[in-house]
A and B are shown apart, each in its own frame.
Chain A
Amino acid sequence: MTAIAMKSTKAYRRKRMRNNLAGYTFLAPWLFGFVAFTSVPMLYSLYLAFTKYDVLSAPQWVGTANFVNMFQDGLFWKSVGITFKYVFILVPLRLAAALGVALILTTKHKGIGIYRTVYYIPSLLGGSVAIAIIWLRLWGSDGAVNGLISLISGSPYTYSWIGNPGTALYSLILLGCWHFGSSMLIFVSGIKQIPVSYYEAALLDGAGPWQRFRYVTFPSLTPVIFFNLVMGIINAFKAFSEALIITDGGPMDSTMLFALYIYKQSFTYFKMGYACALSWILLIIIGIFSALVFRSSNYWVYYEA
């Protein structure tokens, strides 16, 4: 090593440090927010999960009692079951709807942009109170859905879809499906990125529309599907406001989604320690499923490069 090389190493290091410093300075606000508002509360909640805490008095350490009680709590298992049902029916349905509508909306028609906007709007409306009231009345015993059925069948139909424990969850699932807009837009952009040359090649080989979809569109879209699948699963597990506002856990706890169950334990019954324990269980469940999807992605996701 010559003297020049050594000097350049030191100068190089200092320059790198200056560059990094700029990076860290820009990062600092976000980092501060992350530490102060995410990491620290998360760690505190992990501590609280082993305590009994009713907000008004100091937390009392109880060890693993919360977790032991949880596994004996009938409503906990019921809520887990309902949430699993919700997630595993909603996510495929919503993906299918998003993909289907996206395919239609990437054809070359005039004004197709307006349709895309219109179909995106329900996602924006989300779980608002206005939507909740509309949905409630829509699926009630004297709602529009029953009105339509009565019209078709000729005799009055008054089954309350949202008031009966057997079907209330399905109306919530349908509400979730109605929010397919954001996934759809991502699919649209994914479809637009597929090189036209692939389709030309397929047409040359005499492929029909279904075969073009199966052999060109779908494989090229697998990264997008993967993204939407993971995001969809995570968001579905966290679903909360619809269950709270529309049915409040629903007829006979049939719509007691897990996030709502946590909310009730923490803010209605003031069992904060138990609620923290429940939250960590939710985190673990979401983590497991995300990991499973990631692992499986090696087998079915094709990346361009």
Chain B
Amino acid sequence: MKKLTALFLAMAMLFGCAALAEGEPLRVSWWGSESSNKLYLKEAEMFTEATGIEHDPEYYSWDEYWTKINTLAAGSDLPDTLRMDYAYILNYVEKGQLLDLTPLVESGAIDLSKVADSTISGGRFGDGLYGINAGSNGLCMAVNEKLVTDAGMEVPSNEMTWEEFEAWVIGFHEKTGLLGADLFGLKDYNGVFRIFAREHGEELYNEAQDGAGFSAETLTAFLASLKRIQDAGATQNIADAVTDIGKENYPFSKGESATIFTVTDSYTTYAAVLKDNFGAVPMRVLPGAAATKAMFVKPSQFLSIAATSEKVEEAAKFINYWINDEAANLFIAGRRGVPINPEIASIVGQSLNEESMLVFDYMNLMAGYASDLYAPDPKAHSEIAENFDGQVQNVLYGKSTPEEAAQATVEFINKALNQ
């Protein structure tokens, strides 16, 4: 009899716990570095104060975020509101993990009445809208103006071609002994190489996404240029670059390099680090982009709702708050991209600090050098990116020629996309 009572009580506890789930807070998730996390936590708290809806934040670093989200998706346990990135969103949409937001937009639960359609078109797949663009970003070249002028050279212009850039960095190194560019940004598959391919009228992947969109010749030219820059000493030797971890340790942040290719989101970090000792850090479009308008304006991140979410209404309120609330956007002050609501953008634009102002201005300028955004990357993209990095290492360590590496890369992409 006693045993039965004990068993019954245990069961009651278990079911009681399940019942408690009714009052659970809204789960929101994002990725971020430490400074971004503080920002988003505060904004989520502001949301709770404004609407009375409790929130439960889950946040991780960029790499861990995707591992965690994938694991949660496998267990049908995705957070109610989740951040999505353009590189991954297609995969989730295809697997039905994200809610189509069109009904919410039409009913006004998410108010997009003032937002231009072109800004949110990045989140459209097929007939549905699966993510609201939280802000836009793009690539840029940050320049340490003081280092350049001290060397008696001029800051690169927006019209500089890639060949001129190569000569420029090598010339800078010969004059000063410092680096012309950071290797980190110079060999990024996702960043500079995407632009480089677009400069030649190509993309990373072909339209059917079953093969490489760029030719081996284009990649050969890129790799050969990289090798020449490294061998001339204008960028770090690959063996030395291994020990630099974290943006604060890159040569650019320490004032030992003239330029770095980076995302506009990261620009403010570099500008802040260099401000005291070096002053202004102007931004330029990437070399060679001017001729073919190779730049692109990319959604920095999407706000999406999980298809399995049971708190759709609250999640919609959260997204709406993020986009349209004046106080929230003034607080974030453009640190996650330009707000998509133009009224909010202009209000925020007037209150920004200097670095964020520069980012805003640059985004406006870059739009003039940009053409259509690329199609979302296929699922094998991260594997291909790692293989690309391996081939770049092969070339920089001198283990293979640019031609061989380029050929191997294209073959790998073709194989990976057809598996």
Contact = CB atoms under 8 A, between A and B. Distances in A.
B242 A140 contact: yes
Given A55-B73, A56-B70, A57-B95, A162 B242 contact: yes
A136 B243 contact: yes
A160 interface: yes
A247 B397 CA distance: 16
Interface residues of A, number: 26
Interface in A229-252: 247, 251-252
Contacts of A268: 382-383, 386
Contact of A55 (B70, B238, B240): B70
A116 interface: no
A165 B397 contact: yes
Contact of A251 (B92, B97, B382, B397): B397
A212 interface: no
A106 interface: no
Given A56-B95, A268-B383, A160 B393 contact: no
B243 A160 contact: yes
Contact of B399 (A136, A140, A252): A252
Interface residues of B, number: 27
B-side interface mostly: helix
A123 interface: no
A163 B91 CA distance: 35
B379 A163 contact: no
A269 B419 CA distance: 13
A164 interface: yes
B18 interface: no
A137 B67 CA distance: 28
Interface in A102-116: none
A245 to B, nearest CB: 10
B4 interface: no
A133 B242 CA distance: 11
Contacts of A133: 245
A89 B14 CA distance: 52
Interface string B39-81: 0000000000000000000000000000100110110000000
Contacts of A252: 390, 393-394, 397, 399
A270 interface: yes
A140 B240 contact: yes
Nearest to A264: B386
Contacts of A163: 237-243
A56 B74 contact: yes
Nearest to A56: B95
Contacts of B71: 55
Given A160-B243, A163-B237, 19 more contacts: A55-B73, A56-B73, A136-B242, A140-B240, A141-B240, A158-B240, A160-B239, A162-B242, A163-B238, A163-B241, A163-B243, A165-B399, A251-B239, A251-B393, A252-B390, A252-B394, A252-B397, A267-B70, A269-B382
18 contacts: A55-B70, A55-B73, A56-B73, A56-B92, A56-B95, A56-B97, A57-B95, A137-B243, A160-B242, A160-B243, A163-B238, A164-B239, A251-B239, A251-B393, A252-B390, A268-B383, A269-B383, A269-B386
9 A-B pairs with least C-beta separation: A163-B239, A140-B243, A160-B239, A163-B242, A56-B95, A269-B383, A55-B74, A141-B240, A55-B70
